[in-house]
Amino acid sequence: MGKLKRKEYDDLIEPLEEELVRMARWARHTGARICVIFEGRDTAGKGGAIRAVGGRLNPRQCRTVALSKPNETEMTQWYFQRYVQHLPAAGEIVLFDRSWYNRAGVEKVMGFTDDAKVRQFLEEAPKFEKMLTDDGILLFKYWLTTDQVNQEERLRERLEDPLKRWKLSPIDLAAREKYEAYTEAREAMLKATHTDHAPWTLIDFNDQKRGRLTLVRDLLDRLPDTHVEPPELDFPALGHDPIAESYTVLKPIAGFPVD
Domain extent listing, the chain:
6-221
- pLDDT interval class at 257 (50, 70, 90): low
The type of residue at 57 is L
Q: Do 187 and 21 form a contact (C-beta atoms < 8 A)?
A: no
CB atoms within 10 A of CB 79: 20
The type of residue at 66 is A
pLDDT tens sequence across 158-205: 888 888 888 888 888 888 889 999 999 999 999 999 999 999 999 999
| Model pLDDT, residue 233 | 80
Query: What's CA 70's distance to the chain center, in Å?
Result: 20
Q: What is the DSSP letter of 239?
A: S
* Biggest distance spanned by C-alpha atoms of the chain: 71
Closest by Cα among 254, 259, 229, 222 to 34:
222
| Model pLDDT, residue 98 | 96
| Model pLDDT, residue 67 | 96
- Inter-helix orientation angle 115-134/179-193, to 10°: 40
CB atoms within 10 A of CB 209: 20
**Across the chain, what does the average pLDDT equal?**
91
Q: Do 90 and 33 form a contact (C-beta atoms < 8 A)?
A: yes
Cα gap 214→223, rounded to integer Å: 15
pLDDT tens sequence across 39-88: 999 899 999 999 999 999 999 999 999 999 999 999 999 999 999 999 99
Cα gap 52→74, rounded to integer Å: 31
Mean pLDDT in residue range 102-121: 95
The number of helices, as runs of H, and strands, as runs of E, in the chain is 9, 5
Cα gap 134→74, rounded to integer Å: 26
pTM here is: 0.88
The CATH class that applies to domain 6-221 reads alpha beta
Mean pLDDT in residue range 5-21: 95
Helix (H) or strand (E) holding 143: strand 138-145
